[in-house]
Structures are given as C-alpha cells and as structure tokens.
Amino acid sequence: MSYDALLWLSFGGPEGPEDVRPFLENVTRGRGVPPERLDEVEQHYQHFGGVSPINALNRAAIEAVRGLVDLPIYFGNRNWHPMVEDALAEMKAAGVKRALVFPTSAYGGYSACRQYDEDILRARAAVEDAPELVKLRQFFDHPLFVESFADAVRAAASRLPEGDYRLVFTAHSVPVSADKAAGPPEDGGHLYSRQVAEASRLVAAAVGVADFDVVWQSRSGPPQVPWLEPDVVDHVEALYDKGVRNVVVCPIGFVSDHLEVVWDLDTEARERAQELGMGFARAGTPNDDPRFAELVAELVAEHVSDGPVRKLSGFPALGCTTNGAFCATRCCEPAKRSGAGR
C-alpha cells in the first residue's frame, strides 16, 4: 500500500504568555478540573515565559525524521496551534490521499492512544473528502526507545557522586478508572500501567539494575477522583526516609523534555531532593537522540516497505488503526461522567 505523507500528531503547547490559559482550557475541557488547579498550572507555564518547549521539540524531531523518510511531513496538535484540523486541510490541498500518522506517545490507554484516534476522527470530520489516515503502532518496547533511555540513565547516574543510587521511573498519572479500562476489555485492562512497568523493566535490565521503582506525576483531576500513585515528589521523600541518598529519575512515560518534565521533575522533584540533601539526576528523554528519528523511520518502514516489526516484549503490537478506528470494541473506553461538575 502506498502513502503520500506522514502526519506528526502531538499534544501541543503555548508559545507565549497569552496562549497559556486558552491552551489549558482546551486541555481540560469536560474533565471537571477545578479553576484553582488551572491557576496553579498556569503559573508553571508563566514561570517559563508562557512558552512550552513541546512545539519546538516536535519541530526539531520532525526535521531529524525528514532526512530518513521519503514522505512529506505535516505537523498537527490536539490542543494548540498548529491544530490537526488545519494540518489535514493543508494535506488535502496538497493532494494527499493516504497518510501515516505518528502520535507522540509510546503507550496504550485513553490519553496515550485512543484520544489520538479521536483527534483523527475529529479532524477528518472537519475536512471534506479528507485523506485516509493510518496511525502507527505503540512503540514503548521498541529496541531504539529502550536503548535511548538506557543510555540516558547511565549518563544521569554518572553525574551523581560515586555510590549506590535508586532508579525511579516516572510517567504521567491517569485516573485509576482510566487505567482499569486501558486496552481491549478481554485483556483485563490496566494496559497503560502494565506497559509503563514493562518499559521500565526493559530499560533497567539494559542498564543492569535489578531493583527499581515506578511512580507517577502530573495529576490534574479533581481531588476526589483516585489517580495512579505514588507521586514522584512524595516518593523522593519516602526514599529519603528509607536511607536512600542518591536518586536517578527516568521520565519513561515521555518522549521529550516538555513542560511537565522540566517542572515536575527538574523543578519540584529536584528542589525537594536538594532540600533533603539527596543527590538527584534526571535522565533525558529520546526526543533529540538520533535513535528517536530512526525509530520513527522504522515504524514508517513497517508500512511502506514491509520492514521488520522490532519489539522487546510479549505485548501485542497495538495502536495501528485506520481513520480513527479503535483497536477493539470498548478499547480504552473513557469512563462516563455523572453529576454536575464531574
């Protein structure tokens, strides 16, 4: 099957102080997030001049991929400009009939996978006679993803004083109910947290670390709703109480050093560790590693030239769907809200 283009589909982020509030309102629309939480998160962005690094990081990664794939690449976001609807309209105007879609998330689950299918559905509904869109698969267990993180952990550990360190993996928290519903129902749910745990295990094994922790960050929902725990800052404190004096934090759930990484880890977690007198080093994400561009090129090659499907786990290769279809009936189905303000 032939393809005319690659659509790079991401989350989006503000690129100026005036963008921050409307961006956050786009992100949280319909999720019952209290206004005071938006006020708090807005200050995180304003701390960095109202600019998230995510769009610039995506553009840099796209440029790296351009040299490896023989397809024009378009860039569209879910929550901020350039919006995916505009990117798809541009693709149609250029004569694109069928395109691959690279979502900038390695995992399954509602926010990590199904919501990108919903982005595709929404964009295609907004563009008459839209191109056919084939989403690339999840890649949390791709050898290049694992190798990049393993080298990043080694580099972080080298910045600490000699001696033992505790390796802590972190990913974006989600509601417990969302994780329970993650994946095809017949597989028992919890696909997101199981994949994060498996990616962590693979990276730890590559580094030669047998014992490690998986924790969570960046929760944003109302306080009465249970989310995956423990939080990374709470966990740093707990490690200190157990006598740990050096910690390496690896943001295994993220592909780039965007604001949730630089605030939650480089700011909050680092500052708490320093207050406690702990050595703290944060591993980098794959975004500017040449292997990340190679990974995307390999995922494209699986479709355009029957390239090999390289995986390091026994998880099925999920996430590859056409025109916003879901992987399975009720796969990663979001929980229905009930009651005012929920």
User: Binding site residues for Fe(2+), as ranges?
Assistant: 172, 260
Measured from the Cβ of residue 270, the count of other Cβ atoms closer than 10 Å reads 20
List residues forming the annotated binding site.
52, 116, 172, 260
Q: Say if residues 171 and 252 touch (Cβ distance below 8 Å).
A: yes
Cα 241–chain centre separation = 31
E strand segments, 70-191: 73-77, 98-103, 132-135, 166-172
Annotated binding site for Fe-coproporphyrin III: 52, 116
**Buried/exposed code over 70-83 (b: 16+ C-beta within 10 A; e: otherwise):** ebebbbbbbbbebb
Question: Which helix (H) or strand (E) element contains residue 246?
Answer: strand 246-250
DSSP class of residue 231 equals B
**C-alpha angle with apex 111: 89 to 108, nearest 5 degrees?**
105
CA 82, CA 206: separation in Å to the nearest integer? 37
